[in-house]
Structure 1
């Protein structure tokens, strides 16, 4: 996937409309939030096949497993090159711990936009990320 020439403004617009969206597995969860950001930047939705096809986080992971991926993080790893977290750039994916799971977020400089399990879009420090992938 290649970023579009106007990817920065497209990503900013996507983040802006995402703040008020509630967590809804299969509609808007951390993986679909990240996939939506990727679509905003590249015009390609890596999660198109899964949107609306599950209604629980466990259901989403089961769907990914049926497609040969352990979870949403391994799916991201299959699509994008991993980079050291310290080298992550604006718009890259970050893997951030969220309770006993890992969430996908979007790097915004020294912070990462994440969709919290408790609901709501927020940020965490980039140094909290465990892994990063170049978009």
Structure 2
């Protein structure tokens, strides 16, 4: 994982951009090298955190209505992590920066894409 280059928020933003053509993270990419720095930049832009950024741009739905491509918030090692729904699971970035799958059961919030 490389904050500002390859992290869960940028992973989710990339999925959103692939589906909609809109990159929510464009103003933030490459501007931070730590998660604390990322939160600081987001706060300066008016968002409490990465989840607030997503919530400001996508409609929220109930996790039971998850569809492929939707964005989910799941518990992560350092706090809420962003995942992308793929069937009965969601793709997430692991602590090592590799792609992993988690079941949808621990989903805290769901945001509809498209």
TM-score, with length taken from structure 1: 0.81
Q: Is the 8 A contact 2:72 2:85 kept in 1?
A: yes
Counterpart for residue 99 of structure 1: 77
Q: What is the rounded CA distance, in whole Å, between the counterparts of 2:70 and 2:97 in structure 1?
A: 22
Counterpart for residue 59 of structure 1: 37
Are 2:80 and 1:80 equivalent residues in the alignment?
no
Over aligned residues, Cα RMSD in angstroms? 0.9
Where relative contact order (Cα < 8 A, 6+ residues apart) is larger, the structure is 2
TM-score, with length taken from structure 2: 0.95
Matched residues, number: 113
Q: What is the rounded CA distance, in whole Å, between the counterparts of 2:31 and 2:78 in structure 1?
A: 24
Aligned-pair distance for 1:109? 1.2
Q: Post-superposition, which runs of at least 4 consecutive aligned residues in structure 1 deviate over 3 A?
A: none
For structure 1, list consecutive stretches of 5 or more residues without a partner in the other structure: 1-22
Counterpart for residue 35 of structure 1: 13
Counterpart for residue 8 of structure 1: none
Q: Is the 8 A contact 2:8 2:82 kept in 1?
A: yes
Q: What is the rounded CA distance, in whole Å, between the counterparts of 2:77 and 2:26 in structure 1?
A: 27
SS in 1 for 2:24: coil
For structure 2, list consecutive stretches of 5 or more residues without a partner in the other structure: none
